Structure 1
Amino acid sequence: MISNKLQCKKSLNDFCKKTILTTLSLLVLLNVSSYAKTIDDSVDHIGLATMMIYDARYKKAKEELDLVDKKSPKFDAANYYTVLGVYNSKLTNTKEAIEAYKKAIEATKTKEFLAPKVITQEKYLFSIASSKKEENTTPKFDTEAKRQDKIEQLYMYLTQEYYKLKDYKNTVDSLQNAGERGKSRAGLYTLRAECYYKQAKHSETFTALNEGIKRFPDDSKLLKQKFYYFADLKLYQAAIDASKVYMDKVGVSSKEYVALAQMLIGANQIDSAIALLEEAKLMFAKDAKIGILLGHMYLKKDMKNTTAHLFEESSYYDKQYLKDAVEMNRRAGNNLHALYLNTQNIDKVEKLKQKIAIYLNAGEYRKIIGLQKALKRYKMLDDENLRYALAYSYYSVGDYENSESHLKYISDSELFSKATVIRKNIEKCTNDSMECL
């Protein structure tokens, strides 16, 4: 009996222990669950999404944004849509980014901005004992200034997105709405001008550039852009004037003169290009490229002797132009001077080629024949033009056999046609010597 009672008591105790443990477990679980819910409500998902975007963890950022409770009384729509806009911008979802930024702007207009908490230092005994009244140096928080600053920043974000879509009108409008932020850098004025120019609003283009130049007088890029627009509109004198203002600011450079001259040449403004290059040549007498470019302009006017002189002058400062000087003197009929310049050429193959061209020009066929050994030595007869020149020289002095010996190697279609004419003439001369008198 006693044993049964003890057993029963023991069972009851075990049951009680189990019941108590179960109850405690439930209470713990309930408390943990309640605590977890409290923690979850306090998680800054928008802040975490911002950090994820910064670390380029875009998938995780989207997961955090999806966890934001938009129905919560603490929901910060302005901040949420700003971060959502940045997220879409990073993923080049441009249209979605624009929509998000627009919502952020509207939310910012009604958002309540709170002054940041000011952390005050503890006062020590000596400061308490001081009779001097402590002044409050904390600046007054300007809610509207803060709101305006946020809105302007959002319009700057919109500017970037609209430009990606080549929506130039809304790009400019966003810049205007960005207030002082949209005017804070010279590059923003070049952006304005570019957008106006893309819309063929040329008056607004130059107004934007002029405003930028006035606001940022030390920035030369605005002047350079002005020059390019004038050039593109074929306003060449205005382009030249703008270019000179630009060069005065950055320092006169021969490269800038050459670039400007090439622009005029491309527009077939030969006289203007010559005038500009003559001016440049006075300033940069030793710049070979200016002389060569100027020479080419005079050649367009068929002024071969002037061109020959300019090419030779340029060759004094840069030997790579020596062959051009030789060739131009040959074309101008200055054969003796061309031969003189040719003697200065250290490239033996090029020198021999030009010498043959000069002798052909002067009708000195026997001198060409005299160069046959040199042509063979440098393996230059593989060039069919030179072989044809040698064949023609033999034909011209009446040595038909040697002429034929070289003509048979001609395979080039154009030269072959000429060789055929020579062969027919040789045949006529052979049949009737009176034909070749």
Structure 2
Amino acid sequence: MKYQIARLAHYFVIIFILGYYASVVCATENKAQPTDFMELAAVMLKDGHSDRALLALQNVDLEDKKTDLARFYTLQGLAYMNLNDLVAAKDSLQQAVKNGQKDQVIFIYLAQVYFGLKDYQQTIQAIVKAGDQVNKDASLISLKAESYWLLKETDASINALNEGQKIFPGDFRFLKRKVFYFAELGLYQEAAKLGKEYLKRSKAAATDYIAIGNALRLSKEYQEALNILEIARLQFPHDDRVAKLLAHTYLDQGKLNSAAFILEQAALLNPALQAEAAEIYRRAGRFHKALTLNESIRDQKVKFKQRLSILLALKQFERAANMESSLYRSGLLEDQEVRYALAYALFSSRRFPEANKHLDHLKNAELFRKGTELRRLMEVCKTEPWQCT
């Protein structure tokens, strides 16, 4: 069926081309003039029909000495670019240059193709050949800087960014890129300084604060990251991405209470963060606070699993054991760790037969070992109850 549809589409394109040819013949009142298939291809490219443009170009006579081969290969290269066939695009554009294409824009197209093919050295050479065109397009300088960076020619990359800043002083992409490059190079103080400058001078969005803050965080420059993210939290109070990154930056430093409080506040706008806030409070040892937040979690599986761990931490074994039916209904007993935790709660509540029933389901080697130890303790409790009081 798909093959038939493809054939029909092919026939429609041919009919379209033939129709165009017939209209040209009629318009010239029987004056024999060939269809300009290259012009037709150019129109199709402009209209976004790259596949049809290639079909039209197939009708061009490349043996005809009057054929403009430079234009032919340029059009063909652009069509392949639009179809993301970069290898074919490269070959066509190179042929355009060999056949006399003088327009420097051809090298811009080649630079884009080379970069897509990860040939960064050729990307740089093509941008150099583009000449004055580079000074008209900030993205080309950015592409050159990125190519140098990927070739690990860091000095040349930074110089390219400086060049971009000089030519396009109002375009802050170069300053932003330098922040990340300096962070990767381990020049954290310089990265932080440039990051603040970028955020101050540009109309920075929340994503900019997040990107720069996270770069500093990953570089373990936690205080600089916190300074930027705290500002972002004030400017974008409704963006939970800022809150999450800020919380995780505090977590990286072991400041659990600060992280939990930030997520708790963010959860007022995004309830999905409630579980994470409760979990961090649990890890911080604030079990009653964690249990309070746990009550509002909507995801039942997350809620019950977390509640079980909190109750065990509080040594409220009877309450934990009484969760058996809830754990069963939510399907959590398929989780071997949950089943062992329930068995432990039942054991601690001296409900040995029920505990044994759940231990029978353990297959995980480590949990099976722990289960065997629980069984041994249960036997001790039966024979020497005074040891289990």
What TM-score results when the alignment is normalised by the length of structure 2? 0.71
1:278 aligns with 230
Q: Which runs of 5+ in 1 are unaligned?
A: 1-42, 70-78, 106-150
Corresponding residue number in structure 2 for 1:18: none
Q: Secondary structure at the match of 1:66?
A: coil
Deviation at 1:420, TM superposition (A): 0.8
**How far has the Cα of 1:360 moved from its partner?**
0.5
**8 Å CA contact 2:76, 2:92 repeated in 1:** yes
Question: Could you say which structure has the larger radius of gyration?
Answer: 1
Structure 2 unaligned regions, length at least 5: 1-31, 43-52, 81-87
Rounded to whole Å, the distance in 1 between the matches of 2:358 and 2:165 is 70
TM alignment of 1:123-142, pairs within 5 A: none
Aligned residue for 1:66? 63
CA distance in 1, matches of 2:99, 2:387: 97
C-alpha distance in 2 between matches for 1:304 and 1:229: 30
2:109 to 160, 167, 173: 160
1:98 matches 2:97: no
| Higher mean C-alpha displacement, 183-192 vs 92-101 | 92-101
RMSD, aligned α-carbons: 3.6
2:316 corresponds to 1:364: yes
When residues 102 and 227 of structure 1 are mapped into structure 2, their CA distance, relative to the original with a 3 A threshold, is farther
Residue 166 of structure 2 is matched in structure 1 by 214
* Contact map agreement 2:69 2:96 (CA 8 A) in 1: yes
Task: Report matched runs for 1:174-185 at 5 Å.
Answer: 175-185=127-137
Task: Spell out, residue by residue over 1:39-76, the C-alpha distance to the aligned partner (whole angstroms, 9 max, x if none).
Answer: xxxx999x957436534333332x2x31217xxxxxxx
SS at match of 2:250: helix
Partner of 2:5: none
Amino acid at match of 2:168: F
Number of the residue aligned with 2:252: 300
Contact in 1 for aligned 2:111/2:124 (Cα 8 Å): no
**1:307 offset after TM fit, Å?**
2.5
CA distance 1:435–1:160, change in 2 (3 Å): same
Q: 1:235 to 1:48 in 2, by over 3 A?
A: farther
d(CA) in 2 for partners of 1:322 and 1:297?
18
Residue 247 of structure 2 aligns to a residue whose secondary structure is helix
Change (3 A) 1:183 1:81: farther
Instruction: Report the Cα distance in structure 1 between the residues aligned to 2:282 and 2:64, rounded to whole angstroms.
Output: 84
Aligned partner letter, 2:97: Y
The size of the alignment, in residue pairs, is 336
Shift of 1:259: 1.9
* AA partner of residue 66 (structure 1): E
TM-score, structure 1 as length reference: 0.64
Q: Distance in 2 between matches of 1:428 and 1:208?
A: 75
Answering whether residue 372 of structure 2 is matched by residue 423 of structure 1, we say no
User: Residues 334 and 195 (structure 1 numbering): CA distance in 2 closer, same or farther, change over 3 Å?
Assistant: closer
Q: Which residue of 1 aligns with 2:354?
A: 402
Bigger mean CA offset, 82-91 vs 283-292: 82-91
Distance in 1 between the 2:206 and 2:111 partners?
Answer: 39
One of 343, 348, 354 as aligned partner of 1:391:
343
Q: Distance in 2 between matches of 1:405 and 1:293?
A: 43
CA 1:194–1:293 in structure 2 vs 1: closer, same or farther (change >3 Å)?
closer
Task: Tell me if 1:82 matches 2:70.
Answer: yes
Distance change (3 Å), C-alpha of 1:362 and 1:209: same
SS in structure 2 opposite 1:317?
A: coil
- The residue that corresponds to 2:46 in the other structure is none
SS at match of 1:104: coil
Aligned to 2:154: 202
Q: CA deviation at 1:395?
A: 1.8
Distance 1:356 1:200, change over 3 A: closer
- Aligned-residue identity in percent: 27
> Quick check: 1:305–1:329 contact (8 Å CA) kept in 2?
yes
The answer (yes or no) to whether the contact 1:192–1:205 under 8 Å persists in 2 is yes
Alignment of 1:193-342 (within 5 A): 193-342=145-294
Relative to structure 1, is the Cα distance of residues 94 and 424 closer, same or farther in structure 2, using a 3 angstrom cutoff? Answer: same
CA deviation string 1:260-306 (max 9, x = no partner): 22223333443433333233334334543333322222223322233
Is residue 84–residue 97 contact of structure 1 (8 Å, CA) maintained in 2? no
Q: How many Å apart are 1:309 and its aligned residue?
A: 2.3
SS at match of 2:355: helix
Contact persistence 2:256–2:280 (CA under 8 A): yes
- How much has 1:332 moved relative to structure 2? 1.7
**Cα deviation, residue 423, structure 1:** 0.7
